[in-house]
Amino acid sequence: MLYIVGLGLGDEKDITVKGLEAVKSCERIYLEHYTSILTVPTDRLEALYGKKILLADREMVESDLNAILKDADSINVAFLVVGDPYGATTHTDLVLRAKELNIAVTSIHNASIMNAIGCCGLQLYNYGQTISIVFFLDNWRPDSFYDKIKQNRAIKLHTLCLLDIKVKEQSIENMARGRKIYEPPRYMTVNQAVEQLLEVEEKRQEKGVYSPTTIGVGMSRIGAPDQRIVCGTLQELLEADFGEPLHSLVLAGEMHFLEADILKTFAINVDTFNQYAQVSDH
Amino acid sequence: MLYIVGLGLGDEKDITVKGLEAVKSCERIYLEHYTSILTVPTDRLEALYGKKILLADREMVESDLNAILKDADSINVAFLVVGDPYGATTHTDLVLRAKELNIAVTSIHNASIMNAIGCCGLQLYNYGQTISIVFFLDNWRPDSFYDKIKQNRAIKLHTLCLLDIKVKEQSIENMARGRKIYEPPRYMTVNQAVEQLLEVEEKRQEKGVYSPTTIGVGMSRIGAPDQRIVCGTLQELLEADFGEPLHSLVLAGEMHFLEADILKTFAINVDTFNQYAQVSDH
């Protein structure tokens, strides 16, 4: 059996009771650690499970599924994913490959950023499509998210922005020379994301998409005791401190007044919130 | 402390380790049981917790928050929610009221249908706004969901449809006479939802919204061992058997070919799937 187990968002105790029982029954345990991270080091997980964890990097998951699935028709193998098992395409690859090999798969769900953002007060059913913001490079500044935000905001919906994570990346030079030397991990901050959003807005300037006075919500370490939820105009969020990773950002669309009531409790400045929030009373 | 604890979607063991520890520390434990249900009876939860559970119905949650919050500044109180704590507006009311009373609140996240639907293979970031379908009555057949589906599908997004739940509802006659007699609980099936969708399409017939050949995904009891995921045209889903509640329905927008690869494994009929699925190769 292959167990694909969501770990949730915070620390080792965010695994479910069912997930923990499954992991304890496994002979090999992989942790996918390149699309998201927990707020605690891996040894805290190992202590709770009483088992050794193997780290699965992108290279392994994208090129060597057979190694992960080896003997999983006769023994139990766990593949641990921060958040819910189905947040990233690569894990559907794993499920498909297991099905081809006639290996039974059990998924154990958990919270992910896609639903945990409900804690800021903006209702999940009022979100449009989710966008990703990647680190801009000198000569690569992809802005296709702008069109998606435009579509969402045209129909008044909120937009969750997932922020880039670079783990075990090679520099172009090291890659060219075939040297397996990796850069230190980088996690995009809310501030960097807002800066890039505003740069693209400066360039595109299409009507009614967003602007420095659009209300956003920056969030960090959701599910951890030191989580932060800070609401403000994009201009205000540029300077706000969100602490350690991971960070996420939401662009607010039109809010129901009950959504605004909650969100306001996280405002940097209630006056600017009241001035710029788009609130409906129905 | 008020703990708002998500229970996830399946049985008593879908609570997180952190959630279980919190519940065990509480003197009063409420279970919100009118917006969703687990797949097991409440006594299974009580056995795991070693505690008595108080059922909180809509009336209590919407009119008597102070009773739930009583003494929560000095003792621990748990409010259990199927799924994640922030799936329904009423729970943000509870948080706001607690803040007013200076009661500390800790939320413990979990899977909800909003993210667990990722298991059907359609990527969560390609969903638009979520819609609700309520039981039609003879003289009340609200179809505002049609406009929202239209908006989602115009920009090629998938749509999650949440299906109605009627728990502890009074008949109009009993309500008029002030008799506290309640109807048996009712849970909308995928079949009923599709029937209502097609009725509205028959009436509205606006171009490019959906039709009997639109690809949908019916799901039931996600997270339970007997979960079902069945993909087909709406016409095909009309007749499919989804078993016990709860049921959910997704209308597929344009799929990436990787999404289609997974979804196809759940198809009633691969030929009609291939004929009607809208698949892009980028």
Cα A42 from Cα A184, distance rounded (Å): 17
In a domain, residue B282? The reply is no
Which chain A residues are Cβ-neighbours of B95 within 8 angstroms? Answer: 262
> Cβ–Cβ of B124/A86 closer than 8 Å?
yes
In this predicted structure, the answer to whether residue A282 has a pLDDT above a threshold of 80 is no
Whether residue B44 is found in the same domain as residue B123: no
Helix (H) / strand (E) element for B187: namely strand B186-187
Cα B174 from Cα B258, distance rounded (Å): 52
- Please tell me the predicted confidence (pLDDT) of residue B33: 82
In this predicted structure, the answer to whether residue A150 has a pLDDT above a threshold of 90 is yes
> Cβ–Cβ of B17/A155 closer than 8 Å?
no
Cα B152 from Cα A269, distance rounded (Å): 33
Q: What is the percent of chain A with per-residue pLDDT over 70, rounded to a whole number?
A: 99
In a domain, residue A281? The reply is no
Cα B95 from Cα B78, distance rounded (Å): 12
- Please tell me the predicted confidence (pLDDT) of residue B172: 85
Which tens digit of pLDDT belongs to each residue from B45-82?
A: 999 999 999 999 888 888 889 999 999 999 999 999 99
CA dihedral B91, B92, B95, B96 (to 10 degrees): -140
> Cβ–Cβ of B262/A96 closer than 8 Å?
yes
Whether residue B129 is found in the same domain as residue B249: yes
- Residue A169 is given by DSSP the state P
CATH of the domain at A198: 3.30.950.10
- Please tell me the predicted confidence (pLDDT) of residue B200: 98
In this prediction, residues A133-155 reach a mean pLDDT of 97
| pLDDT band per the 50, 70, 90 thresholds, residue A118 | very high
In a domain, residue B128? The reply is yes
Whether residue B143 is found in the same domain as residue B207: yes
Rg (CA), chain B: 20
Whether residue B12 is found in the same domain as residue B75: yes
Closest CB to B18: pick one of A14, A89, A261: A14
Q: Which residue of B has its CA nearest to A147?
A: B155
- Please tell me the predicted confidence (pLDDT) of residue B92: 82
In this predicted structure, the answer to whether residue B88 has a pLDDT above a threshold of 80 is no
Number of CB pairs < 8 Å for A and B? 169
Whether residue B153 is found in the same domain as residue B57: no
* B21: helix, strand or coil: helix
Q: What is the mean pLDDT of chain B?
A: 94
Cα B218 from Cα B237, distance rounded (Å): 7
* Other Cβ atoms closer than 10 A to A74: 8
Whether residue A24 is found in the same domain as residue A48: yes
Least confident of A5-14, A152-161, A165-174, B121-130: A165-174
Cα A107 from Cα A205, distance rounded (Å): 44
Backbone φ and ψ for B165, nearest 5 degrees, come out as -130, 130
Contacts from A268-275 at CB under 8 Å and sequence distance 24+? A268/A230, A268/A231, A268/A232, A268/A236, A268/A237, A268/A240, A269/A232, A269/A236, A272/A213, A272/A232, A272/A233, A272/A236, A273/A215, A273/A231, A273/A232, A275/A213
Count the alpha carbons within 13 Å of A136 in the hemisphere toward its beta carbon: 16
Q: Which residues 6+ apart lie within 8 Å of A259 measured at CB? A: A121, A122, A123, A126
In this prediction, residues B222-251 reach a mean pLDDT of 96
| ipTM of model | 0.94
In this prediction, residues A176-186 reach a mean pLDDT of 90
- Please tell me the predicted confidence (pLDDT) of residue B169: 84
Which chain A residues are Cβ-neighbours of B157 within 8 angstroms? Answer: 128-129
Of B53, B87, B111, which residue constitutes the final position of a domain? B111
- Please tell me the predicted confidence (pLDDT) of residue B192: 98
> Cβ–Cβ of B9/A121 closer than 8 Å?
no
State the alpha helices, DSSP H only, in chain B.
17-24, 42-49, 58-63, 65-69, 89-100, 113-116, 145-154, 172-176, 190-204, 234-237, 257-264, 270-276
Cβ atoms of B50 and B12 within 8 Å: the answer is: no
Q: Which domain holds residue B150?
A: 114-276
* CA distance to A109, B17, B174, per residue, from A72 (Å): 20, 26, 57
Whether residue B228 is found in the same domain as residue B127: yes
Cα A37 from Cα A268, distance rounded (Å): 27
In this prediction, residues A4-20 reach a mean pLDDT of 97
Of A73, A89, A111, which residue constitutes the final position of a domain? A111
Which chain B residues are Cβ-neighbours of A92 within 8 angstroms? Answer: 121, 258, 261-262
Whether residue B241 is found in the same domain as residue B151: yes
Split into its structural domains, chain A has a count of: 2
Cα A77 from Cα A69, distance rounded (Å): 7
Cβ atoms of B205 and B242 within 8 Å: the answer is: no
Instruction: For residue B129, give how far its alpha carbon lies from the nearest alpha carbon of chain A (Å).
Output: 5
Whether residue A86 is found in the same domain as residue A139: no
* CA distance to A100, A112, B117, per residue, from A152 (Å): 38, 21, 21
pTM (two decimals): 0.95
Q: What is the mean pLDDT of chain A?
A: 94
| pLDDT band per the 50, 70, 90 thresholds, residue B132 | very high
Whether residue B102 is found in the same domain as residue B130: no
In a domain, residue A282? The reply is no
Which tens digit of pLDDT belongs to each residue from A80-100?
A: 999 999 877 778 889 889 989
Whether residue B103 is found in the same domain as residue B148: no
Q: Which residues 6+ apart lie within 8 Å of A184 measured at CB? A: none
> Cβ–Cβ of B92/A258 closer than 8 Å?
yes
CATH of the domain at B96: 3.40.1010.10
If phi over 0 gives left and psi between -120 and 50 gives alpha, with beta otherwise, what is residue A6?
A: beta
Which tens digit of pLDDT belongs to each residue from B179-227?
A: 888 889 999 999 999 999 999 999 999 998 999 999 999 999 999 999 9
In a domain, residue A142? The reply is yes
Cα A197 from Cα A193, distance rounded (Å): 6
Which tens digit of pLDDT belongs to each residue from A222-270?
A: 999 999 999 999 999 999 999 999 999 999 999 999 899 999 999 999 9
Number of H helices, E strands in chain B: 12, 14
